[in-house]
Structure 1
Amino acid sequence: MRALPLLILLPPLALAHASGLQLEPHTFRAKDGRTVEAELGALKVPLRHARPEGPSLTLRFVRFKSTNPKPGAPIVYLAGGPGGSGIEAARGVRYELFLALREVADVIALDQRGTGQSNPHPQLSHPWTVPLDQPMDAAMLDATLKEAATQAAREWAAAGVDLGAFNTVESAEDLESLRQALGAPRLNLWGISYGTHLGLAYLRRHADKVERVILAGVEGPDDTWKRPAHAEALLDRWDALLRAQDKSGKRLRSRLKTLLDELERSPRPVKFTDPKTGASQTWLASRFDLQLAAFESLRDPATFQRFLALLSALEAGAFEAMAPFAPLLRGGTLEPMPLAMDAASGVSPTRRARIAREAGTAMLGGAVNAGVPEAAWIPGMVDLGEAFRGPLKASNPVLMISGTLDGRTPPDNAEALRPGLSRAVHLVLEGAGHDGLFQSDPRILERMKSFMRGEKVADERLEVKGAR
Structure 2
Amino acid sequence: MAVIPAASTRPSADPVVFMEGGPGGDAFGAVPFLVASGVNGDRDLIVVAQRGTLHSQPSLACPEMDRFSATAVGLPYDAPSTGRGLVRAAKECRDRLASEGIDLRAYNTTENAADFAALRQALGIKRWNVYGYSYGTDLALTYLRRHPQGIRSVAIDSVVPPQTVSLPWAWDSAREGINAIFAACEAQPACKSRYPALSRTLTEQVRRLEADPLRLTAEPPGGGTPVEVVLDGGTLVNLLVADGRLVPSADVPAVLYELAAGNPERLARAQAAGATPAIGEFAHGLTHSVACAEWAPGFSRRDVLEAGRRAFPGWPDSVLAHAPQLPFEHDLCRVWNVPDRTAVQRVTTYGKVPALAITGTFDAKTGASWGPYAARTLSRSTAVVIPGITHWVVPQQPCAASVLRSFLARPHAPDTGCVSGVTPKPFTLIP
Provide TM-score, normalisation by structure 2.
Answer: 0.80
Instruction: Give aligned-pair identity as a percent.
Output: 24
C-alpha distance in 2, partners of 1:276/1:303? Answer: 15
Equivalent in the alignment of 2:388: 431
Alignment counterpart, residue 186 of structure 1, candidates 99, 103, 127: 127
Q: Deviations over 1:128-168 (max 9, x none)?
A: 25667764426554443223212210022223433332222
1:318–1:302 Cα change, 3 Å: closer
| Greater C-alpha Rg | 1
> How many residues end up aligned between the 2 structures?
405
Alignment of 1:310-459 (within 5 A): 310-327=255-272, 335-347=284-296, 349=298, 355-361=304-310, 362=312, 363=315, 365=320, 366=322, 368-371=324-327, 373=329, 376-379=333-336, 381-442=338-399, 444-457=401-414
Q: Distance in 2 between matches of 1:281 and 1:66?
A: 44
Matching of residues 48-59 of structure 1 within 5 Å: none
User: 1:467 matched to which residue of 2?
Assistant: 425
Query: Retained in 2: the 8 A contact 1:438–1:445?
Result: no
Other-structure match for 2:429:
none
Structure-1 separation of matches of 2:403 and 2:221: 42
Q: Provide the C-alpha distance between the structure 2 equivalents of 1:287 and 1:302, rounded to a whole number of angstroms.
A: 15
CA shift at 1:179, angstroms? 1.0
Is 2:68 the partner of 1:128? yes
Cα 1:463–1:339, aligned 2, differ >3 Å: closer, same or farther? farther
Structure 2, unaligned runs of 5 or more: 427-431
- Shifted more, 390-399 versus 143-152: the winner is 143-152
SS of the residue corresponding to residue 382 of structure 1 reads: coil
Contact kept, 8 Å, 1:192 with 1:217, in 2: the verdict is: yes
Amino acid at match of 1:257: T
- Where 2:358 maps in the other structure, the secondary structure is strand
Superimposed CA distance per residue, residues 10-53 of structure 1 (whole angstroms, 9 cap, x where no aligned partner):
xxxxxxxxxxxxxxxxxxxxxxxxxxxxxxxxxxxxxxxxxxxx
Asked if structure 2 preserves the Cα contact closer than 8 Å seen for 1:429 and 1:437, the reply is: no
Kept in 1, the 8 Å contact 2:73–2:274? The answer is no
For residues 184-243 of structure 1, what are the alpha-carbon distances to aligned partners after superposition, in whole Å with 9 as ceiling and x for unaligned? Answer: 233310111111111111111112332210111111113253432332233332222223
Choose which of 237, 240, 264 in structure 1 pairs with 2:180. Answer: 237
Matches within 5 A, 1:87-102: 87-90=28-31, 92-97=32-37, 101-102=40-41
Aligned residue among 50, 75, 80 for 1:112 = 50
1:218-297 map, 5 Å: 218-221=159-162, 222-223=164-165, 225=167, 226-243=169-186, 244-246=188-190, 247-248=192-193, 249-272=195-218, 282-296=228-242
Question: Structure 1 length as normaliser, TM-score?
Answer: 0.74
Amino acid at match of 1:312: Y
Q: Does 1:303 align with 2:252?
A: no
Structure 1: gaps spanning 5 or more residues: 1-59
Distance in 2 separating the partners of 1:286 and 1:436: 29
Q: Cα distance, 1:388 vs. partner?
A: 0.7
Distance in 2 of aligned mates of 1:421 and 1:177? 24
Q: Deviations over 1:246-270 (max 9, x none)?
A: 3434211122222223223322232
Q: Is the contact made by 1:150 and 1:377 (CA closer than 8 Å) also made in structure 2?
A: no
Cα separation, partners in 2 of 1:344 and 1:164, compared to 1, 3 Å: same
| Deviation for aligned residue 1:121 | 3.3
8 A Cα contact 1:403 1:433, kept in partner: yes
Structure with bigger RCO (C-alpha 8 Å, 6+ apart): 2
Aligned residue in 2 for 1:6: none
Which is worse superposed, 421-430 or 72-81? 72-81
Letter of the 1:61 partner, please give it.
A
Q: Is the 8 A contact 2:156 2:358 kept in 1?
A: yes
- The one-letter code matched in structure 1 to 2:199 is R
Flag the 1:262–1:329 CA change in 2: closer, same or farther, 3 A. farther
- What's the secondary structure of 2:338's corresponding residue? coil
CA RMSD of aligned residues (A): 3.5
CA distances 1:46-98 after superposition (whole Å, capped 9, x unpaired): xxxxxxxxxxxxxx2225258475834332111222233333322x2322445
Report the Cα offset of residue 398 of structure 1.
0.7
Distance 1:199 1:351, change over 3 A: farther
